[in-house]
Amino acid sequence: MMDLSIIILSYNTKNLLDSCLASIYDNYKNQNFEIIVVDNSSTDDSVAMIKKKYPKVLLIESQKNLGYSAGNNLGLAKSQGRNILFLNSDTKILGDSLDIMVKYLDAEEEIGIIGPRLINPDQTLQKSVGNFYSLGNVALMLFGGGRLGLFRNSPDKYLVVDWISGSCMMVKRSVFKKAGLLDENLFMYMEEVEFCYRAKMKGILTGFIPEAKVIHQELGSSKNGREQAIVNIYKGLIYFYRKYDSSGKLLILKFLLKAKAYLAKTLGLITGNNHLIETYDQALRFLA
C-alpha cells in the first residue's frame, strides 16, 4: 500500500494548482505516493495544464462542482494510500513537511487526523486550529473573539486539538472505516469541524504539528471568498447543531446568528456598504 494519497480539489485555480503541484514534487522525496486531482468542472485551462505538465497525476474530471466534501470523497474512493491528505489548491508545501506528518501519523496510534502550521503568503501565522463551536465559542466568533485568538490560534508546540483546517488535513485510512466519509451535506466550510467532531466521538484524536509548514493563500481557491465563507459558515453551523444538539441550543444559535447579521447590515447601511448588506441578507435566508 502507498504511504500517502494526496487529494486536491480544483475549481478554476489553474495557476494556484500549478504552484501547489510543483511544491509537492519539489519537496516530497518519498516516491511511494500518488496525487489525485478532482477537477470540479473548471472552465479555465486547469485540466489541460495537468495533462501537459503533470502526466503522473490521476485526474478525475467531474461534470459539476461537487463542493469540498463530495469532491474529496470522490478522490478518496480512487485512492490507494494508507494515509490521505486533503489539500487545497491554494497551498504550497514547504520542506519535508509531508514526511513529518506521515511519520507522525504512523507512530501515534490514537491520533487519526493531523494538520500542519499554516502560513500566510506574507509569512505571518494563520489561525488554523480551533475549538469546537459551543454556543460560547459561536458568540466569540461572531462578535470579535477570533481576533484575540480565544477559540482559533496557531500553537507553537504539538497539541491534541479539537479541529484543524481542512485546507491541509491528513487522515489515516482506518479513520474513515470507523467514522465514515466527509459529510456531503456540507458543500463548503465547516466540513473539517464536523469530521473531527465525529471522529472524536469514535475515540479518534486530532493533532497539530507545527514542525510541518504549509503556505496557504486563504480564500484563494474560491471566487467571492469572504462572502461565500460567511454564508456557508452560517449554513454549516445550523446544519451542525441540527445534527448534534438539542432544539433549544439550535434556537439560541439562530438568535446569535440573527443578532450578528442585523448588526452587520446596520453597519452596512451606515457606511453605504451594499456588499455587506447583501452578504448577510443571504446568510439570513438559512435562518427562516
| Cα–Cα distance for residue pair 179/173, rounded to 1 Å | 10
Q: Average of pLDDT values for 86-97?
A: 97
Q: Average of pLDDT values for 35-52?
A: 94
Q: Are 205 and 105 in contact (CB under 8 A)?
A: no
Same domain, 232 and 209: no
Phi, psi of 171, deg, nearest 5: -135, 135
For the cut 60, the answer to whether the pLDDT of residue 210 exceeds it is: yes
Torsion angle of C-alpha atoms 161, 125, 4, 67, degrees rounded to 10: 90
In the predicted model, what is the mean pLDDT of the chain? 93
Residue at a domain's end among 186, 216, 246: 216
Which CATH number covers residue 124? Answer: 3.90.550.10
Same domain, 49 and 88: yes
Same domain, 118 and 252: no
| Cα–Cα distance for residue pair 53/7, rounded to 1 Å | 17
Q: Which three cell numbers stand for residue 111?
A: 491520533
Same domain, 50 and 82: yes
Q: Which residues face 60 on adjacent strands?
A: 38
Q: Average of pLDDT values for 206-231?
A: 83
Decide: pTM greater than 0.75. Answer: yes
Same domain, 172 and 252: no
Residue 219: band (very low, low, confident or very high) from pLDDT cuts 50, 70, 90: low
Q: How many domains does the chain have?
A: 2
pLDDT of residue 224: 56
Give kind and range of the element (H or E) at residue 23. helix 14-27
Structure confidence by residue, pLDDT tens digits, 138-182: 999 998 776 666 778 999 999 999 999 999 999 999 999 999 999
Same domain, 237 and 185: no
Percent of the chain past pLDDT 90, that is, above it, reads 84
DSSP letters of 31-82?
A: SSEEEEEEE-S-SSSHHHHHHHH-TTSEEEE-SS--HHHHHHHHHHHH--EE
Phi, psi of 52, deg, nearest 5: -80, -45
pLDDT of residue 109: 92
pLDDT of residue 156: 92
Structure confidence by residue, pLDDT tens digits, 5-39: 999 999 999 999 999 999 999 999 888 999 999 99
Tell me which amino acid residue 114 is. Answer: I
Q: Are 94 and 214 in contact (CB under 8 A)?
A: yes
pLDDT of residue 129: 96
For the cut 70, the answer to whether the pLDDT of residue 46 exceeds it is: yes
Same domain, 100 and 237: no
| Cα–Cα distance for residue pair 222/233, rounded to 1 Å | 14
Same domain, 125 and 240: no
Structure confidence by residue, pLDDT tens digits, 125-150: 999 999 999 999 999 999 877 666 67
Q: Average of pLDDT values for 103-108?
A: 95
Residue at a domain's end among 185, 216, 247: 216
| Cα–Cα distance for residue pair 59/211, rounded to 1 Å | 30
Please enumerate in sequence order all residues whose Cβ is within 8 A of that of 128, keeping only pairs 6 or more positions apart, or say none.
115, 117, 118, 152, 154, 164, 165, 167, 208, 216
Phi, psi of 230, deg, nearest 5: -60, -50
The boundaries of the domain holding residue 249 are 225-287
pLDDT of residue 106: 94
pLDDT of residue 1: 84
Residue at a domain's end among 193, 216, 239: 216
Same domain, 171 and 261: no
| Cα–Cα distance for residue pair 7/127, rounded to 1 Å | 23
Q: How buried is residue 125: exposed, middle or buried, by Cβ count under 10 Å (0-12/13-18/19+)?
A: middle
Structure confidence by residue, pLDDT tens digits, 63-87: 899 999 999 999 999 999 999 999 9
Same domain, 211 and 229: no
Selection from 105, 209, 97 nearest residue 160 by Cα = 209
Give kind and range of the element (H or E) at residue 118. strand 111-119
Same domain, 161 and 251: no
